[in-house]
């Protein structure tokens, strides 16, 4: 059964920033990802759609090694981890994590640190920047997400939308090769979803490479360069957003698109 739909994929001129080949993962005997491969080029936005249980979140988490695949080759900006050849070294895992940054569904801001320190933490501890430099970068990142002025607040005292934007600033400040978004708006109240989606659109327009797992179809259609539809652990359709979303080739994708209630974006 072919995984790819008939639409054409973009052929990158340079080497891809993210490359996933032959990814397989099982949880307790159940195969959750059944041989997935794709690539993302510099500056591109890839959206991944699919019903729950399709394996899309697990796959995203394999890219920064929060989940360990059973087999597959994952390359991020030159750092390769080949899971088919036994357990990768911790040093390599760290190296790959330092090329990526993640925005979580439940924000996962460091509860015991202020907004500013949440953003500077990675810069200071991992990238060993000094305090001034870290705070300058953090300031810029917070401004980019529209959260300047709230540096001294603690995460628990912010709304979900504000927390998520700080989370995006934290990822941005690290200047990673790719930012991974794991259903970033699924835990938000409906009124807050737009502020985060707008922020993400801004980020995308700055040329940041992004992989976004989301249910927001309209966002995916408006902002992505490539859309992947996953179901049952496989990529079922893949291609340019207007092709995949407006002209679904398979029944599964058609059912999925119909079942999602449309939501206003912009």
Partner 1 sequence: MNLDVDFMLSDLPTVFAALPSTLLLSLDSMFWALVFALICGGAQLARIPVLDKVTLVINTFIKGIPLVVQLLFCYYAVPYAVKWFDALVGRTYDPRHLPYFGAAVLALALNFGAYITDVVISSTRAVDRGQWESAYACGMTRFQALRRVVAPQVIVISLPNMTNYFIWLLKGTSLASIVNVTEMLTTARLSASDGYQFLEAYIDAAIIYWIVCAVIEWASGRLYRSAGRYLVAPNGATAQ
Which residues contact partner 1 by CB under 8 A?
A: 64, 66, 94, 97-98, 100-102, 104, 106-113, 121-122, 125-127, 154-157, 160, 163, 167, 170, 174, 180, 187
Nearest by Cα to 200 from 190, 209, 191: 209
Q: Which is nearer to partner 1, 80 or 127 (CB)?
A: 127
Residue 216 CB, nearest approach to partner 1 (Å): 20
Residue 175 CB, nearest approach to partner 1 (Å): 12
Q: Which is nearer to partner 1, 85 or 111 (CB)?
A: 111
Percentages helix, strand, coil for the chain (3-state, rounded to 5) are 35, 25, 40
Q: Which is nearer to partner 1, 98 or 238 (CB)?
A: 98
Report yes or no: 215 and 183 within 8 Å, Cβ to Cβ.
Answer: yes
Report yes or no: 197 and 216 within 8 Å, Cβ to Cβ.
Answer: yes
Q: Which is nearer to partner 1, 175 or 250 (CB)?
A: 175
**DSSP class of residue 262?**
P
45 token code pair: 């936005």
* 229 bridge partner residues: 49, 237
Residue 97 CB, nearest approach to partner 1 (Å): 5
- Determine whether 148 is exposed, middle or buried from the number of CB atoms within 10 Å of its CB (0-12, 13-18, 19+): middle
160 token code pair: 């979900």
Q: Which is nearer to partner 1, 154 or 265 (CB)?
A: 154
Residue 122 CB, nearest approach to partner 1 (Å): 4
Instruction: Return the SS3 of 107.
Output: coil
Residue 168 CB, nearest approach to partner 1 (Å): 12
């Amino acid at each position: 059964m072919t995984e790819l739909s008939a639409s054409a994929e973009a052929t990158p001129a340079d080497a891809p920033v993210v490359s996933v080949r032959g990814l397989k993962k099982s949880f307790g005997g159940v195969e959750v990802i059944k041989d997935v491969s794709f690539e993302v080029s510099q500056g591109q936005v890839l959206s991944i759609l699919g019903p729950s249980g399709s394996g899309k979140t697990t796959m995203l988490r394999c890219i920064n090694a929060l989940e360990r695949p059973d087999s597959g080759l994952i390359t991020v900006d030159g750092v390769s981890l080949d899971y088919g050849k036994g357990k990768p070294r911790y040093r390599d895992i760290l190296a790959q994590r330092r090329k990526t940054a993640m925005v979580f569904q439940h924000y996962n801001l460091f509860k015991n640190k202020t907004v500013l320190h949440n953003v500077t933490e990675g810069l200071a501890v991992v990238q060993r920047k000094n305090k001034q430099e870290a705070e300058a970068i953090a300031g810029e990142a917070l401004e980019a997400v529209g959260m300047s002025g709230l540096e001294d607040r603690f995460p628990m005292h912010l709304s979900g939308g504000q927390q998520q934007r700080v989370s995006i600033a934290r990822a941005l400040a690290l200047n990673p090769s790719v930012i991974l978004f794991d259903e970033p708006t699924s835990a938000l109240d409906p009124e807050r979803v737009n502020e985060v989606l707008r922020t993400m659109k801004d980020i995308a327009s700055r040329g940041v490479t992004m992989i976004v797992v989301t249910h927001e179809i309209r966002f995916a259609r408006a902002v992505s360069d490539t859309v992947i539809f996953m179901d049952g652990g496989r990529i079922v359709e893949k291609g340019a957003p207007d092709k995949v979303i407006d002209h679904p080739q398979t029944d599964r994708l058609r059912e999925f698109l119909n079942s999602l209630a449309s939501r206003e974006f912009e």
